[in-house]
């Protein structure tokens, strides 16, 4: 991670669609002074939470186990309207006087067929939003 980068604006990203880059569009920031980077290795079971403004990267996973990434892409207050398409959200607390989102139901049980189908539908909508204007698409 680049210390202090969370204080600046979100940097422009180049879309590389690189084979070794698992991000949707293979996004990379150019002209990063990597000599300022601080390593923040995680041990198995640990997690990193950080702002989307933090310039960061991860090295390849050389272990025998998978790496799990969990990105909360769209933490939005109810007043914000997604301009690329209407999406679903789960209201954590309070109410939504703006009607900006379709509300996602709570899952009925682990891996219920209807819940998995709903998740796939929502992911497809988000994929359309994330790939809007992209020169190409990946299979994920």
**Residues 54 and 116 reside in one and the same domain:** no
Domain boundary pick from 47, 71, 95: 71
Q: What is the mean pLDDT of residues 121-129?
A: 90
The rounded percent of the chain whose pLDDT value lies above 70 is 96
pLDDT digits (tens, 9 = 90+) for 17-75: 988 888 889 999 999 999 999 999 888 888 888 888 899 998 888 888 888 777 765 56
**Residues 56 and 99 reside in one and the same domain:** no
Query: How far apart are the C-alpha atoms of 37 and 103, rounded to whole Å?
Result: 40
How far is C-alpha 101 from the chain's CA centre?
18
Domain boundary pick from 26, 43, 71: 71
**Residues 65 and 6 reside in one and the same domain:** yes
**Residues 65 and 96 reside in one and the same domain:** no
**Residues 78 and 49 reside in one and the same domain:** no
Domain boundary pick from 45, 71, 97: 71
Provide the number of structural domains found in the chain: 2
**Residues 48 and 35 reside in one and the same domain:** yes
Among candidate residues 37, 38, 43, 16, the one with its CA nearest the CA of residue 27:
16
Cα atoms found within 13 Å of the Cα of residue 92, Cβ hemisphere only: 4
**Residues 37 and 100 reside in one and the same domain:** no
pLDDT at 36: 97
pLDDT digits (tens, 9 = 90+) for 23-33: 889 999 999 99
In the block, which residue shows the tokens 């398409």? Answer: 85
Domain that holds residue 86: 74-140
Query: How far apart are the C-alpha atoms of 135 and 117, rounded to whole Å?
Result: 28
**Residues 59 and 109 reside in one and the same domain:** no
* DSSP codes, the chain: --TTGGGSPPPP-EE---TT--STT-EE-SS--GGG-------TT------TTS--------SSS------------TT---SS---EE---SS--SS--SEEPPPPSSTT-HHHHHHHHHHHHHHHHHHTTT-S-----
pLDDT at 3: 96
pTM greater than 0.75 (yes/no): no
């Amino acid at each position: 991670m680049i210390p202090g980068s969370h204080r600046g604006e979100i940097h422009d990203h180049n879309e590389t669609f690189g084979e070794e880059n698992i991000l949707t569009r293979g996004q990379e920031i150019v002209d990063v002074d990597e000599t300022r980077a601080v390593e923040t290795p995680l041990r198995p079971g640990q997690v990193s939470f950080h702002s989307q403004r933090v310039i960061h990267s991860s090295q390849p996973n050389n272990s025998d186990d998978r790496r799990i990434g969990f990105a909360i892409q769209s933490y939005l207050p109810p007043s914000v309207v997604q301009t690329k398409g209407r999406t679903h959200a789960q209201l954590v607390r309070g109410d939504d006087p703006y009607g900006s989102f379709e509300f996602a139901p709570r899952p009925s049980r682990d891996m219920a067929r209807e819940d998995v189908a709903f998740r796939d539908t929502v992911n497809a909508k988000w994929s359309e939003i994330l790939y809007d204007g992209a020169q190409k698409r990946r299979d994920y």
